[in-house]
Amino acid sequence: MSTADLHTLTGAYALHALDDDERERFERHAADCADCAQEVRELSAAAARLGLAVTDSPGPALKDQVMRRITTVRQEAPRTLPLSAPRAVGIRRRRRGHWALAAALAAAAALGGTAAWQHERAQDAREQARQAERRADQVAAVLTAPDATSRTAKLADGASGTVVVSRSRDRAVFISSKMAKPPGGKVYQLWFDDAGTMRSAGLMDPGRTSEAVLMKGSVDGASGMGITVEPAGGSPSPSSPPVALLGLPV
């Protein structure tokens, strides 16, 4: 491998794309070549920035579209001028190096973007798991509180609902069993009954028929609770007749 060839390996070295022999030869060369050493530092920094770039996840049809177009779009032939033999060889080598570098940087950007996207999704999943664990701990704390009291009522179609209240914790849990799923685009919403005024206490999972839900907010002076069917996302006040009304246990 000539010195001219070694000059073209800065991009591949920055992206760790050389084999062991090539890497050792290039490192010996770069130790005495300030230009190559500087170019490696700049390309390594650029690759790192590209790798950390935030990207959007491509749609599932993108790959199929690209693969179809590959077979129909013809690559243009390069426009060249007559050159003397030594100059032509040097330029061809430099072009090969530039194309290899461009391809390597594009690959680094794509892989780096994918890694960033995967890292964000993993962080989201971990945060969701932590939130679910906190909710489970809060539900368990109410159900196992020394002063926990409960009341159960029969609901429509053989379903049942139980509300458990801990006055010391000032929280309540609603436990549903075999409730029919709400209509499409709808959700069950829980309410505290504050002397006839209904206060939102959160939403149930529309995809589950049995669950334990930590009711949102404090029990405070509520005397009962209710359940209504509301649009997805819930409503600021009940917009439909109650599916169930339960008095809170004393």
List pLDDT tens digits, range 142-157.
Answer: 888 889 999 998 988 8
Residue 162: give the domain boundaries.
149-247
Distance CA 86, CA 112 (A): 39
Residue 79 lies in a domain: no
- Report the candidate in 248, 250, 218 with the shortest Cα–Cα distance to residue 138: 218
User: Are residues 221 and 156 both part of a single domain?
Assistant: yes
User: Are residues 104 and 180 both part of a single domain?
Assistant: no
Provide the angle, in degrees to the nearest 10, between the axes of the packed helices 34-51 and 20-32: 120
Q: What is the pTM of this model?
A: 0.52
User: Are residues 17 and 137 both part of a single domain?
Assistant: yes
Distances (CA, A) of 137 to 31, 134, 165, 202: 59, 5, 15, 17
How many residues in total does the chain contain?
250
How does residue 82 score in pLDDT terms, banded at 50, 70 and 90? low
Start-to-end C-alpha separation, the chain: 88
Note the pLDDT of residue 52. Answer: 46
Rg of the chain over all Cα atoms, to the nearest angstrom: 33
Q: Domain ends where: 144, 171, 190?
A: 144
- Report the candidate in 238, 234, 236, 206 with the shortest Cα–Cα distance to residue 225: 238
- Report the candidate in 211, 217, 215, 205 with the shortest Cα–Cα distance to residue 246: 215
What's the domain count of the chain? Answer: 2
List pLDDT tens digits, range 185-210.
Answer: 999 999 999 988 999 999 999 998 88
3-class state of residue 112 by DSSP: helix
